[in-house]
Amino acid sequence: MPACSGLEHHSQTVIDGSHPTTQAKFESYPSDAVQRQVCRRASEINRIPTYDARMAPPRTYRVRVLGCRVNHAERREVESVLRDRGLKEAVPGRPADLEIVHTCSVTGRAAAKSRQAARRAKQARNSTLLLTGCLVGSNRDQAELLTGNPSHAIGHDLPMPLAVASWFDAQWANGNQKPCEKTEESILPLPLAAMPNQPANHVRAEVRIQDGCDAHCTFCIIPTTRPVLRTKSISTVTEEVERLVDLGHREVVLAGIFLGAFGHETALRRRQQHRSAEPLADLVDAVASVQGLARLRLSSLEPGDVSDTLLSTLAAHPEVVVPHLHLPLQSGSDRVLRRMNRQYRVADYLDMVDRATHALSRNGIPPAFTTDIICGFPGETTNDFEQTVAIAERVGYLHMHVFPFSPRHGTAAARWKDQFVPDAIRTERVRHLIDLETRPDGLSERFRRRLAKHPLRLLAEQPDPHRSGNWLGRCDHYAMVSVKIRCERGDLVRAMATEIEDDVIIAEAETADCSLPMLARH
């Protein structure tokens, strides 16, 4: 998966603790017959009456989002744009005047789920459907058929929130607002279309700091759907984080399609004009200094991103920067990494892990590492896979996003059909890695045991459905914790880990800080 996938995560994502690979389903690019069926369904759906743009502007909206952390951050920005224009979020269970589906197409399964979400949204009568995101970029013809209106399909030619603002104003502002245009000045910067004006959906607020990728990993469609690299200014990100803290968020996640390209004109490190510059470290230093921010995470990093300067900056803010990094491995075989066109080899990756462990260990506990791994990449041998297993055991991941290879039309790897690994073998390899993580005394349990008898800090996310009076939340190391306490969603809880039950750490509460209560969305 690309860097963005780290943390079709994706509404299947690690954000809410779900595991997208428990059922090992395999994606493939839809056949011509399937695509024709999609088009027929879209044509039938398009006969359903829709909201007429000549009528009064919509008063309510609903945004359905699929995909990575960046998509969730874009959703928050788009919602701010709509609220600034007087719209209100539709009451759950009731139709919205404007239905937006923000799509993902990083895998075949993600694209299929995006199409399904669009069809469901289209069923709402007297609504306008707007389809946005990566599905539009990967297959615009299909997206336009799903909406029934070419202007109602918006890809990533422009920053998404600005593109939605321009589309809305062109439809309903009677020319009072100037449409957003693609200019040379709007390519590199990533402007903030609207400041946050209500809390995000998640306790952890995703902040999009970078967009676009041109690294062209051979399995990845993202350089087709998000080809232009853009970066938010440090001052804009800091102001956005300050506003999110004011709204009640204790934790933010800095998210990007290729986070290490923040402040650079390309994700290809050998072509970066100022390779010695450390804009990401400068950003972390600024954001970690925001008053009231309790926790800061970075969404996804590669070996070339994790410089000594960045590690020193992370370590300089131990009360805010959490000891958890998401480091996509993809494969533990140099031969496969080379065919994937990744910008590192196994030795680089392990060196990054060792340096991060040295810099971020606290009280004898190493940082938690999570990762992405693709099983069954074209030409992957048994020996290649065994090397991947060995690296997983060497690193000791808390969690692994394990994906079967999904051929994406338009990528190099999709053309290597004569080297595709049989489904049965891909299935077995996925299951092997899942078992390595989740079995008793597996990688995840081994790491959680290291946290036992140590003080933890967690954000209360939701009541524990299995333990009366308990709340669930992730600790700094990103492990799930259950603690008996009276608190509210978003409260910062300090507790002592006592034991491990299944995949949850049980802890005894010490204090709960509720000085910045999470605001309700309605």
* 81-109 residue pLDDT tens: 999 999 999 999 888 999 999 999 988 88
Is there a contact between 358 and 306 (Cβ–Cβ < 8 Å)? Answer: no
Q: Is the same domain home to 195 and 311? A: yes
Residue 23 inside a domain? The answer is: no
Average pLDDT across the chain, whole number:
86
Q: Is the same domain home to 279 and 173? A: no
pLDDT at residue 502, rounded to an integer:
86
Most confident stretch, 32-46, 113-127, 419-433: 419-433
Q: Strand pairing of 492-501 and 455-459?
A: antiparallel
Residue 374 inside a domain? The answer is: yes
pLDDT at residue 132, rounded to an integer:
95
Final residue belonging to a domain, choices 446, 463, 488: 446
Residue 504, phi then psi, degrees to nearest 5: -125, 140
From residue 288, give the alpha-carbon distance in Å to each of 294, 320, 497.
9, 6, 26
CATH of the domain at 346: 3.80.30.20
Is there a contact between 258 and 210 (Cβ–Cβ < 8 Å)? Answer: yes
pLDDT at residue 492, rounded to an integer:
94
CATH of the domain at 504: 2.40.50.140
pLDDT at residue 126, rounded to an integer:
81
pLDDT at residue 174, rounded to an integer:
56
Q: Residue 388 pLDDT > 60, yes or no?
A: yes
* 315: its two tokens: 């370590």
Q: Is the same domain home to 159 and 257? A: no
SS3 state of residue 63: strand
Q: Is the same domain home to 396 and 434? A: yes
Residue 7 inside a domain? The answer is: no
CATH of the domain at 85: 3.40.50.12160
Q: Is the same domain home to 268 and 128? A: no
Q: Is the same domain home to 259 and 347? A: yes
Q: CA 136, CA 310: separation in Å to the nearest integer?
A: 35
Is there a contact between 522 and 477 (Cβ–Cβ < 8 Å)? Answer: no
CA 332 to chain centroid: 23
Q: Is the same domain home to 380 and 238? A: yes
Residue 493 inside a domain? The answer is: yes
Q: How many distinct structural domains can be found in the chain?
A: 3
Q: Residue 219 pLDDT > 90, yes or no?
A: yes
Q: Residue 11 pLDDT > 70, yes or no?
A: no
Q: Where are the alpha helices (DSSP H) in 48-107?
A: 69-84
pLDDT above 70 as % of the chain: 85
Q: CA 333, CA 346: separation in Å to the nearest integer?
A: 7
Residue 507 inside a domain? The answer is: yes
pLDDT class of 2 with cuts at 50, 70, 90 = very low
Q: CA 498, CA 483: separation in Å to the nearest integer?
A: 10
List pLDDT tens digits, range 398-416: 999 999 999 999 999 999 9
pLDDT at residue 189, rounded to an integer:
83
pLDDT at residue 55, rounded to an integer:
58
| Element containing residue 142 per DSSP (H, E) | helix 140-147
* 271: its two tokens: 């072509």
What would the mean pLDDT of 163-172 be, rounded to a whole number?
Answer: 91
Q: Is the same domain home to 101 and 145? A: yes
Q: CA 346, CA 335: separation in Å to the nearest integer?
A: 10
Is there a contact between 305 and 348 (Cβ–Cβ < 8 Å)? Answer: no
Q: Is the same domain home to 265 and 164? A: no
Residue 6 inside a domain? The answer is: no
Q: Is the same domain home to 433 and 462? A: no
Q: CA 404, CA 356: separation in Å to the nearest integer?
A: 28
Q: Is the same domain home to 166 and 50? A: yes
Comparing 352 with 151, the larger pLDDT belongs to 352
Residue 15 inside a domain? The answer is: no
Q: Is the same domain home to 171 and 213? A: no
Q: Residue 29 pLDDT > 90, yes or no?
A: no
Is there a contact between 330 and 372 (Cβ–Cβ < 8 Å)? Answer: yes
Give the range of the structural domain holding residue 401, as residue numbers without chain letter.
186-446
Cα Dmax for the chain: 65
What would the mean pLDDT of 472-480 be, rounded to a whole number?
Answer: 97
Comparing 392 with 70, the larger pLDDT belongs to 392
Final residue belonging to a domain, choices 148, 182, 216: 182
The length of the chain is 522
| Element containing residue 369 per DSSP (H, E) | strand 368-375
Task: Count Cβ atoms within 10 A of the Cβ of residue 198 and give its class: 0-12 exposed, 13-18 middle, 19 or more buried.
Answer: middle
List pLDDT tens digits, range 292-309: 999 999 999 999 999 999
Residue 390 inside a domain? The answer is: yes
Q: Is 349 left (phi over 0), alpha (psi -120 to 50) or beta?
A: alpha
Final residue belonging to a domain, choices 153, 182, 211: 182
Q: Where are the alpha helices (DSSP H) in 361-442?
A: 382-395, 423-438
pLDDT at residue 183, rounded to an integer:
43
pLDDT at residue 433, rounded to an integer:
98
In the chain the first and final C-alpha atoms are separated, in Å, by 35
